[in-house]
């Protein structure tokens, strides 16, 4: 495969690409350092552990970067008004 140029459109994409490159480099190092007969087993452990972490960090970055439509407009969230004392709904314990 020939090297290619990527156009990253935002900091989140740059972060994910950097983390993916770090994962590939760690996999290469793991494969080179693993003893004969253990390459696949050790590489799989790294791939699963780091791959899961990469996916978690990518999701976190995307969610932190994105605003839902409700967050972009509308009322601010706040405490809900409480019902006045003595006006509770429902039955009391022990009443039919």
pLDDT band per the 50, 70, 90 thresholds, residue 88: low
What are the tokens at 87? 């006006």
- Tell me the C-alpha distance between 22 and 18, whole Å: 6
Span 15-35, pLDDT tens digits: 999 999 999 999 999 999 999
pLDDT above 90 as % of the chain: 60
pLDDT band at 75 (very low <50, low <70, confident <90, very high): low
pLDDT at 46 over 70: yes
> How distant, in Å, are the alpha carbons of 20, 40, 60 from that of 50?
9, 15, 15
Cα separation of 71 and 76, whole Å?
Answer: 8
Task: Share the mean pLDDT of the chain.
Answer: 85
pTM of the model: 0.64
């Amino acid at each position: 495969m020939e090297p290619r140029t990527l156009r990253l459109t935002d900091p989140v994409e740059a972060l994910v690409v950097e983390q993916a490159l770090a994962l590939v480099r760690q996999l290469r190092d793991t494969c080179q350092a693993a003893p004969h007969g253990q390459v696949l087993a050790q590489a799989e452990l790294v791939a699963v552990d780091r791959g899961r972490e990469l996916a978690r960090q990518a999701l976190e970055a995307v969610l932190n970067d994105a605003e839902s439509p409700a967050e972009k407009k509308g009322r601010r969230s706040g405490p809900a008004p409480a019902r006045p004392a003595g006006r509770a709904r429902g039955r009391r314990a022990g009443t039919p």
